[in-house]
Amino acid sequence: MGKVTLLLLLLWFQPVAATNRSEGPVNKTFMAKVVRIMDGDTMEVLYQNTPVKIRLAHIDCPEKRGSQPFGNQAKAALSNLCFAQQVTVYGEKYDRYKRLIAVVVNSKKQVINQEMIRQGMAWHFKKYPTDTLYAQLEMMARKNKTGLWQDAHPVAPWEWRKPHLRN
């Protein structure tokens, strides 16, 4: 009898948990207003009167937390590209922090993820490469010493986080 009860409970609660996750804007294109910039690759948008945290896909920016060089400049660059604008969000998936991983296009039709690399404010996040354009944009920014590439020894954010942000 205990196994049957457990099975019924699992079947009862599983759709509820799945509904909460799938009702969000994952794998969906939607318009939203940017209401907050957390750092160079994370923002909050207002979608159907609900705040949604967005992590920009394909890029990783210098850390604001932990005082990585260019962290504040990356946040300012993202703000200049989209703060208080209606943007188009192309949701892909959620990360472990429940942020929507997405490509975002601003009101000037700029792909913000690509612009951050073009301006030298982000690295192409090669851990999950799906688009070679990001690698090409990074190579150009490096070659032209744009943004963070002016630094003689820039440190990738994933390397910076190792010793600086341990809890």
DSSP states along 113-125: HHHHHHTTS-EE-
The residues pairing with 28 across neighbouring beta strands, listed in sequence order, are none
The residues pairing with 101 across neighbouring beta strands, listed in sequence order, are 55, 93
Active site residue 161: no
**Residue 78 tokens, joined:** 């993202």
CA distance 158 to 154: 12
Which among 92, 99, 115, 138 is annotated as catalytic? 99
Active site residue 142: no
Which among 21, 23, 36, 63 is annotated as catalytic? 63
**Residue 133 tokens, joined:** 């354009």
Active site residue 55: yes
Neighbours of 2 (CB within 10 A): 6
Which among 55, 92, 115, 138 is annotated as catalytic? 55
Which amino acid is present at 25?
Answer: P
* Nearest one of 57, 64, 65, 63 to 117, comparing CA atoms: 57
Catalytic positions are: 55, 63, 99
